[in-house]
Structure 1
């Protein structure tokens, strides 16, 4: 007989990330946690050995892997899932002109299409439970952080889609929370490919700066993964829907994107990444 305990499935639960922290906090709240990862051995031992935690192999880019996860969850819960957290994601830190379209498409596959694939596959279980979808979007979806264009674009697409899905899923009894995530201290940058600016790049004069963005310094003013997870789970428990702004700098990003005129927002972003002048001067020198 299926347990009456609430259940949550979280993608991307490798140790040191937001997924692992969310799994821990949901577990402490009494949920049966399905902690998933493409490589299950990356899930911490403390989590994987906990009672009411089921570690599943899940590649969000594989329809067969997703279908297997649906089958496993359904068998343990009697065909229901209370919360689906689409946490998996990846990034590319490079100028757009130095990024291949193929790599950009791969990023969209993970950050956007995989989210939809998970929602579509688990919709019957979520509908049966009157469930909840939590999508890991980002403030980068509304703030144009330089040298992150494909990441920004994927998260921007997810923000709009998630809010649309909220309206479409609502009548089915499924709630949707869109996480407008800002800085959180995790190992995210350790899990993406190291930045390498091509020798012939138009941006070679700021190569050191760009490659330095991949060292995680953007997270220096972030909140801990534990604090992030606590805030998110609290909103889920309250039944919050729509956009939820969370993380270091989230409030500034929220009001800046809404209230600042374009020139003021551009100036603010330039103060955070003061390289446009150097790039322009280098371009003039090359032309001369």
Structure 2
């Protein structure tokens, strides 16, 4: 076994979240962990003032903050980074017609462009270590869920781009893994901005339904962050590249998204989220308004 210490940097390590769960498993496996987050007060006690963990304040939307993190990591590691985990991200539910475009752009910045900015900034350290880039994406990128076009669209873009980045980085000796995550038990839905549907929106008639989509029901029966972390770190230690589906019913969801015809897949999705019933109410209200 090599005696060379391995280093991992993980974004979005707030208490209870996937990032914190990954950080704890990496630490148990002997890695030195740079646990980063925008608000250091949200770091869990298990990662604060413990061996092999360096907390870093990092805003992945700030080039200056990213540059400062690169300098801090390089100074501590001698200019290398074995694993970069782009975990930061946020969900968002809103009908496309009612969306504030600027808010939509900010979500794409966080979910899509921030991982690329982190890769560009840290790539000299990762190449030096012949390291790993892990991009936290979502099965939502394969699911045409009504009222989720911005979040799901940003993850669809990341799913595709992460695979392309993997091919581009392979000649540099860098491996890339895309985590297509289904449901994991976290407080993430507590942080989702609640959709505020305007009264003049054609979807206001179902505003209660749209608001409930962000209430965390999709996490029922999902694995905890430690179970998730053990699976992911195991894949990294095996050298897995490409896409790995992880989380609640990951295998079934992967099969359905890859092999079911879109119409059948939509019916299966609808049996769970009941979107067609709600959209029928919108159609009925629209017809009544015009008559």
Change (3 A) 1:270 1:280: farther
Q: Is the 8 A contact 1:47 1:53 kept in 2?
A: yes
* Distance in structure 2 (CA, Å) of the matches to 1:191 and 1:246: 22
**Which residues in structure 2 correspond to 1:95-174 (within 5 Å)?**
95-174=95-174
Instruction: Identify the residue that residue 44 of structure 1 maps to in structure 2.
Output: 44
Query: Is the contact made by 1:13 and 1:19 (CA closer than 8 Å) also made in structure 2?
Result: yes
CA RMSD of aligned residues (A): 1.2
Q: Could you list the per-position Cα deviations for residues 165-210 of structure 1 after superposition, in whole angstroms to 9, with x for gaps in the alignment?
A: 1101111111000001001111111122222222112111211111
Q: Aligned equivalents of 1:222 and 1:193: distance in 2? A: 22
How far does residue 252 in structure 1 lie from its aligned partner after superposition? 2.6
Shift of 1:268: 1.6
Question: Where in structure 1 are there 5+ consecutive unaligned residues?
Answer: none
Instruction: Tell me, yes or no, if structure 1 residue 283 matches structure 2 residue 282.
Output: no
Greater shift in the superposed pair: 60-69 or 271-280: 271-280
Shift of 1:71: 0.5
Alpha-carbon separation, structure 1, partners of 2:174 and 2:10: 17
**Residue 209 of structure 2 is aligned to residue 203 of structure 1:** no
**Is there any run of 5+ residues in structure 2 with no aligned partner, and where?**
none
Using the size of structure 2 for normalisation, the TM-score is: 0.96
Q: Is the 8 A contact 1:139 1:182 kept in 2?
A: yes
3-state SS of the aligned residue for 2:93?
Answer: coil
Secondary structure of the residue that 2:69 maps to in structure 1? Answer: helix
Q: Does 1:30 align with 2:30?
A: yes
Q: Do the aligned residues in 2 keep the contact of 1:270 with 1:276 (CA within 8 Å)? A: no
1:44-65 CA-to-partner distances (Å, cap 9, x unmatched) read 1221121010000100000010
Counterpart-to-counterpart distance in 1, 2:7 and 2:286: 56
Matches within 5 A, 1:1-288: 4-274=4-274, 275-288=278-291
Partner SS state of residue 8, structure 2: strand
Cα displacement (A) at 1:130? 0.5
Contact 1:143 1:253 in 2 (8 A): no
The CA distance in 1 between the partners of 2:180 and 2:74, in whole Å, is 30
**TM-score normalized by structure 1?**
0.96
3-state SS of paired residue (2:47): helix
Aligned residues: 286
Q: CA deviation at 1:248?
A: 0.8
3-state DSSP of counterpart to 1:185: coil
